[in-house]
Chains A and B, each alone.
Chain A
Amino acid sequence: MSDVLLRIKNLKTWLGTGASPVRAIDGIDLEIKKGETFALLGESGCGKSMTALSIMRLLPPVGRIVDGSIHLGETSLLDLPENRMRNERGGRMGMIFQEPMTSLNPVLTVGTQIAEAVCIHDADPQQDIKARVVELLKEVGIPDPEQRFSEYPHQLSGGMKQRVMIAMALAGRPQLLIADEPTTALDVTIQAQVLALMKQLQQESGMAILLITHDLGVVAEVADRVAVMYAGQIVETAPCKAFFQTPRHPYSRKLFQSIPGRDKRSERLAVIEGTVPPLDQAFSGCRFAGRCDVVMAICHHQIPQWDQYAEGQGVLCHLQGGAEATVEPPASVKEHAVAAVEKSPPTPLLSVDGLKVYFPIHKGIFKRVVGHVRAVDGVSLEIPVGQTLAVVGESGCGKTTVGKAILQLIKPTAGQVRFDHDELTQLRGEALRRRRADLQIIFQDPMASMNPRMLVHNIIEEGMLAQGIGGQAAERRMRIEQLLEQVGLPASAADRYPHEFSGGQRQRICVARALAVEPRLIICDEPTSALDVSVQAQILNLLQALQQQLGLSYLFITHDIAVVDYLAHEVAVMYLGRIVERGTVAEVLDDPQHPYTQALLSAVPVIEQAGRRKRIYLQGDMPSPANPPVGCYFHPRCPQAMDRCQKSYPKAIVLSETRSVSCLLLEK
């Protein structure tokens, strides 16, 4: 009896037939032991999900496993007939997916769906199925399980749905739980809850978890062992501790270097140049050779062999034992050191006062207004010239709406937006149109923010034409090429379509488009959260450099504290449409005063486990902005709530010139 639960040998999964199939998985070996958490780490498209689907034999129709073996215990999964395989799925192996919204059937109650899983895999005629379902719901920490039993998926929040998915996966009492990015779609505070739940369930039942993620922080929090995937192969395996101490593979090292943070504030982030090579070819050298900074001549024409340098540790690299000797990053990386924060008393470029945006809720055939969603409920902020204000908060707290209301893309319900002595809310028609050149926006999803049917040239030109700047066609063309070069793209990019670019390149085009009208303030709405870390680093570097060259101000909307730490000068923390705490980055992140800020910061998964804050687990989810709680909006979840908190919303208490907090705890 060995303690290996899952053993994959030389697995190859190809997608598509034709002349050049995509080799999504190209020979991976891995072993998962009983009761351990095994993390599969990698950037999008490297084949993590395909690995999970191959294990479950749930590949899309175009996919097929062409070679290799998968053993669960003594069973060879690839040799099982489909009807036996069905018993394994949801039986000994459970799976949860990234998107809890689409994994549940919207027309069946939660209870029915779990009961179905129970009936199939845990059939015990004596047992009361409903009791078992309620027990499962309780196990995954859903409050009032009896009542939730008969609710529909849309009545649950994202975190709750993910818990229901976990309950379904647990119904068959699995030995192996495959979790494909289980927390990527969730907010950090909810992510912390779900990860803690998974850990706890594992301790109770002794199941193994195959955790698929792209987030180094998550890996550091929960994993026992790690495998790093790159372009369809595993390039490094190591126990978690060893991995975070000394990542061996050049790719893993790069990943670490590209994570933003305070300590890297004064330097450019390391970036991994280039892109993942297309997988529809046979490789004759190392797949990472084109992007590796310690590449050697041999790497281009000889495929590296797996180097098992210690028990349970290995790398796929020509360097013996990986790049153990620390390779100093090339000098050029440090060259572009960022100037320290300007100390002179800055004049505000944008000042927002008491901004409110209410969306009416219509009901019935006559569309009577029955209430309002208070998306933004009295937000005031200021951004000085050449500085960055970060707005952080969970999804749905109104960050994006603030941005759009400042741009007058949504008409504010109340409040003032003063930009350089102009009151934007009062401007109409032509006057507003002229002003629009000064304020620009960059969106989260670079693909959705460009019309797929327009050439890059026309996309960038659009703003110039609307604003009537840039002169004749030939001059505009020159300016566009210049802009593209400024954001690090070849001038020839102008004559291509957006879909021909990778995610990071697309975001560069969006930056170039915003720059085309020479704005003074750019609202960046989560510009990097759809991108991988290494690509995120490129965009952050670019934004930093542009700020210095052009003296731009940014309103940086994000939920990623590391990015704030790296890039912002000031921070405002939003909860349910209001700013609960603001101050400089050092003030807020080092010494959070508001209980929500404290919880938010403590929930962020961090790599250095030593210096981590004491974890504060928040209960429940953010309430709906349609009817916020009376008193302090945060009191139902606040670990330090007092009776007073339910009475009235606390006033902002000014702690210093730059700092204010809205919490009764700080009231004298």
Chain B
Amino acid sequence: MPELVVLWTDALIFLLIALVLLFGRLAASREHLRAPWRTVARSRMGMGALVVLGVYVLIGVTDSIHYKPLLPEAERSAGVMHSNEVQSLLDYLLTPLREQQEKTYSAPLATHLYSKENIEQADGQMVRDYPRLKYGGAHLQDPQQDWAADVAWTAIIGAQEALLAWLLVVGIITAWLAHRAGRSFFQQCQQILYSRTEVPWRVIFIMLGIVLLAAFTAANLGVKYHLLGTDKVGEDVLYQTLKSVRTGLVIGTLTTLIMLPAAILMGIMAGYFRGWVDDVIQYIYTTLSSIPGVLLIAAAILMLHVYMNNHADEFASLVERADLRLLFLCIILGITSWTGLCRLLRGETLKLRELDYVQAAQAFGVSHFTIIIRHILPNVLHIVMISVVLDFSGLVLAEAVLSYVNIGVDPTMNSWGNMINSARLEMAREPIVWWSLMAALIFMFTLVLAANLFSDAVRDAFDPRLRGGK
């Protein structure tokens, strides 16, 4: 059995998932919590974006299950059964991508390296040419002739598989919907086709189709070729971008998770108790928000760096070390970004505490704690919800920027910021290597766009001022 390794961020991610599930169960039984989410579920844009986000989350979660694989029989010694290297489930799934390492740069779908080398030919002659790749397109006899047909053929096979998978999934969902609505399967298909369902299934299915098409084509091509090329040390860029998904998600979600308790507690306390409590809290966040965030982050990361170098032996593996730095980055980003939410909550609480029902509760002698939990907190939750989803894409972008200036995540960690950072040199090279940058940008752009569209839908549903138009 491989040995499970739970990294800090893994634990927090699963905690977050547990919280979301818990909230989901709670919301299911309360109409006022359920209603806005139902509005989200009816939004075409929101659900389309959710499908894309779902894929990202799936990648992120598989990448968050870490373990130490068993060593091959031969290498085992007494007591040492496991490799020292920590892997994730995603690594396992992407084994072909991970292990097919070339020598150096190669363009997307290429069969030859991107730079000339001296090659010793069969007859012993040395020529200077682009050598064949070790893995990418290695199965082709004559790349010049077969390449185009093979790529097209592989893509078509991928598309066919995607179609099959799509039909299967869509069929199952439609059958389930038909069963629930008491319609025949065919009627249900019509309903979906003409967009007569409450949840925009048509849009969801179309998005699902696109996603499956991309996934299967990429999977088929990715095994035979390097779909997005390789980087300087010959690592597959597709693999890197996929690994970067988790980093982006962790930064975007854990940062808010970490700052949330502080922001909610302080904001509500300041607004509810006013007086000196308010003064102290306002003082804290005004001071914090007047320090330039980048400086604070740079200082903190440098300190951590020094600490880690001095205590290198405390970290069992590189992965753990990088993970701790990631967590630390989340914390420090959280500290610099909670003030906005805190200020919003303070303002809203100031308003709420004057409301008649809070006054009525006070007139009953209900304790402050109960009032906050029962009357204030539920009525500011929509603000929390909106700001969490709105912050998400900002944080993903912030990671990229910070890593670009080298105060982001650990350089050994896969992240879009690090990819963009290394692209700085690649772009200056002649001929330029553009695929790393492009891959990072495309993946990041898709995530941020989907997150923004989704957060729009969420805000529309939760903001009381935008509600009630109908």
- Chain A minimum-CB-distance residue to B31: A497
The A-contacting residues of B in range 421-470, CB under 8 angstroms, are 469-470
Contact between chains at A407 and B363 (CB < 8 Å): yes
The A-contacting residues of B in range 355-402, CB under 8 angstroms, are 355-357, 359-367, 370, 374-375, 378-379
The B-contacting residues of A in range 275-313, CB under 8 angstroms, are none
Bound-complex Cα distance A439 to B357 (A): 16
Contact between chains at A436 and B365 (CB < 8 Å): yes
Q: A609 within 8 Å of B by Cβ?
A: no
- Chain A minimum-CB-distance residue to B378: A453
Question: Looking at A16, A409, A441, A466, which has the most chain B CB atoms within 10 Å of its CB?
Answer: A466
Bound-complex Cα distance A80 to B362 (A): 57
Q: A29 within 8 Å of B by Cβ?
A: no
- B contact residues around A443 at 8 Å (CB): 356, 359-360
- B contact residues around A497 at 8 Å (CB): 31-32
Q: A451 within 8 Å of B by Cβ?
A: yes
Bound-complex Cα distance A379 to B470 (A): 48
Chain B nearest CB from A552 CB (Å) reads: 15
Bound-complex Cα distance A434 to B365 (A): 7
Chain B nearest CB from A278 CB (Å) reads: 17
- A contact residues around B355 at 8 Å (CB): 448-449
Contact between chains at A466 and B366 (CB < 8 Å): yes
- B contact residues around A453 at 8 Å (CB): 30, 32, 378-379
Contact between chains at A445 and B356 (CB < 8 Å): yes
Q: A132 within 8 Å of B by Cβ?
A: no
Contact between chains at B356 and A462 (CB < 8 Å): no
Question: Looking at B32, B359, B364, B379, which has the most chain A CB atoms within 10 Å of its CB?
Answer: B364
Contact between chains at A436 and B363 (CB < 8 Å): yes
Known: A62-B470, A451-B375. A467 touches B365 (CB 8 A): yes
- A contact residues around B362 at 8 Å (CB): 409
The A-contacting residues of B in range 16-44, CB under 8 angstroms, are 30-32
- A contact residues around B357 at 8 Å (CB): 448-451
Bound-complex Cα distance A452 to B364 (A): 18
- B contact residues around A449 at 8 Å (CB): 355-357, 359-360
Chain B nearest CB from A487 CB (Å) reads: 16
Bound-complex Cα distance A445 to B359 (A): 13
- Cross-chain contact of B363 among A409, A445, A450, A465 (Cβ < 8 A): A409
Q: A513 within 8 Å of B by Cβ?
A: yes
Q: A252 within 8 Å of B by Cβ?
A: no
Q: A463 within 8 Å of B by Cβ?
A: yes
Encode B267-293 as 1/0 by CB contact (under 8 A) with A.
Answer: 000000000000000000000000000
- B contact residues around A61 at 8 Å (CB): 469
The B-contacting residues of A in range 482-501, CB under 8 angstroms, are 497
- A contact residues around B360 at 8 Å (CB): 441, 443, 449-450, 510, 513
Contact between chains at B365 and A448 (CB < 8 Å): no
- Chain B minimum-CB-distance residue to A451: B357
Chain A nearest CB from B365 CB (Å) reads: 4
Bound-complex Cα distance A150 to B367 (A): 50
The A-contacting residues of B in range 321-346, CB under 8 angstroms, are none
Bound-complex Cα distance A409 to B364 (A): 10
Contact between chains at A439 and B363 (CB < 8 Å): yes
Contact between chains at A437 and B379 (CB < 8 Å): no
Q: A432 within 8 Å of B by Cβ?
A: yes
Bound-complex Cα distance A70 to B322 (A): 75
How would you classify the secondary structure of chain B's contact residues: helix, strand, loop or mixed? helix
Q: A148 within 8 Å of B by Cβ?
A: no
- A contact residues around B365 at 8 Å (CB): 432-434, 436-437, 463, 466-467
Contact between chains at B363 and A467 (CB < 8 Å): no
Contact between chains at A462 and B359 (CB < 8 Å): no
- B contact residues around A463 at 8 Å (CB): 364-366
Bound-complex Cα distance A404 to B356 (A): 11
Chain B nearest CB from A417 CB (Å) reads: 14
Q: A255 within 8 Å of B by Cβ?
A: no
Chain A nearest CB from B374 CB (Å) reads: 7
- B contact residues around A448 at 8 Å (CB): 355-357
The B-contacting residues of A in range 446-461, CB under 8 angstroms, are 448-454
Question: Looking at B355, B356, B362, B370, which has the most chain A CB atoms within 10 Å of its CB?
Answer: B356
Contact between chains at B363 and A440 (CB < 8 Å): yes
Bound-complex Cα distance A61 to B359 (A): 37
Bound-complex Cα distance A16 to B468 (A): 12
Q: A517 within 8 Å of B by Cβ?
A: yes
Contact between chains at B364 and A517 (CB < 8 Å): yes
- A contact residues around B370 at 8 Å (CB): 466
- B contact residues around A407 at 8 Å (CB): 363
- A contact residues around B361 at 8 Å (CB): 462, 466
- B contact residues around A450 at 8 Å (CB): 357, 360
Bound-complex Cα distance A436 to B470 (A): 42
Contact between chains at B470 and A466 (CB < 8 Å): no
Encode A255-284 as 1/0 by CB contact (under 8 A) with B.
Answer: 000000000000000000000000000000
The A-contacting residues of B in range 90-122, CB under 8 angstroms, are none
Chain B nearest CB from A454 CB (Å) reads: 8
- A contact residues around B378 at 8 Å (CB): 451, 453
Chain B nearest CB from A464 CB (Å) reads: 9
Contact between chains at A451 and B363 (CB < 8 Å): no
- A contact residues around B363 at 8 Å (CB): 407, 409, 436, 439-441
Bound-complex Cα distance A449 to B361 (A): 9
- B contact residues around A445 at 8 Å (CB): 356
Bound-complex Cα distance A626 to B469 (A): 40
- Chain A minimum-CB-distance residue to B366: A466
Bound-complex Cα distance A437 to B362 (A): 11
- Cross-chain contact of A16 among B359, B364, B470 (Cβ < 8 A): B470
Chain A nearest CB from B397 CB (Å) reads: 34
Bound-complex Cα distance A252 to B364 (A): 41
Known: A62-B470, A453-B32, A497-B31. A409 touches B367 (CB 8 A): no
Chain A nearest CB from B447 CB (Å) reads: 33
- Chain A minimum-CB-distance residue to B359: A409
The A-contacting residues of B in range 225-249, CB under 8 angstroms, are none
Bound-complex Cα distance A571 to B355 (A): 28
- Chain A minimum-CB-distance residue to B375: A451
- A contact residues around B32 at 8 Å (CB): 452-453, 497
- Chain B minimum-CB-distance residue to A436: B365
- B contact residues around A451 at 8 Å (CB): 357, 374-375, 378-379
- Chain B minimum-CB-distance residue to A498: B357
The B-contacting residues of A in range 371-419, CB under 8 angstroms, are 404, 407, 409
Chain A nearest CB from B328 CB (Å) reads: 35
Chain A nearest CB from B403 CB (Å) reads: 38
Encode A491-527 as 1/0 by CB contact (under 8 A) with B.
Answer: 0000001000000000000100100010000000000
The B-contacting residues of A in range 149-186, CB under 8 angstroms, are none
- A contact residues around B356 at 8 Å (CB): 443-445, 448-449
Bound-complex Cα distance A409 to B469 (A): 36
Contact between chains at B366 and A462 (CB < 8 Å): yes
Chain B nearest CB from A444 CB (Å) reads: 8
Bound-complex Cα distance A437 to B365 (A): 8
Bound-complex Cα distance A433 to B370 (A): 14
Encode B196-210 as 1/0 by CB contact (under 8 A) with A.
Answer: 000000000000000
Bound-complex Cα distance A407 to B365 (A): 11
- B contact residues around A444 at 8 Å (CB): 356
Bound-complex Cα distance A193 to B360 (A): 36
Bound-complex Cα distance A436 to B363 (A): 6
Bound-complex Cα distance A451 to B377 (A): 12
Chain B nearest CB from A22 CB (Å) reads: 12
- A contact residues around B30 at 8 Å (CB): 453
- Chain A minimum-CB-distance residue to B370: A466
In addition to A409-B359, A448-B356, A450-B357, 10 A-B residue pairs with Cβ atoms within 8 Å of each other are A441-B359, A441-B363, A443-B360, A445-B356, A449-B355, A451-B374, A462-B366, A462-B374, A466-B361, A466-B367
Closest 7 CB pairs of A and B: A449-B356, A463-B364, A433-B365, A436-B365, A443-B356, A466-B366, A448-B356
- Pick 14 A–B contacts, CB within 8 A, sort by A: A62-B469, A409-B362, A436-B364, A436-B365, A440-B363, A448-B356, A448-B357, A450-B360, A451-B375, A453-B378, A462-B364, A463-B365, A466-B366, A466-B367
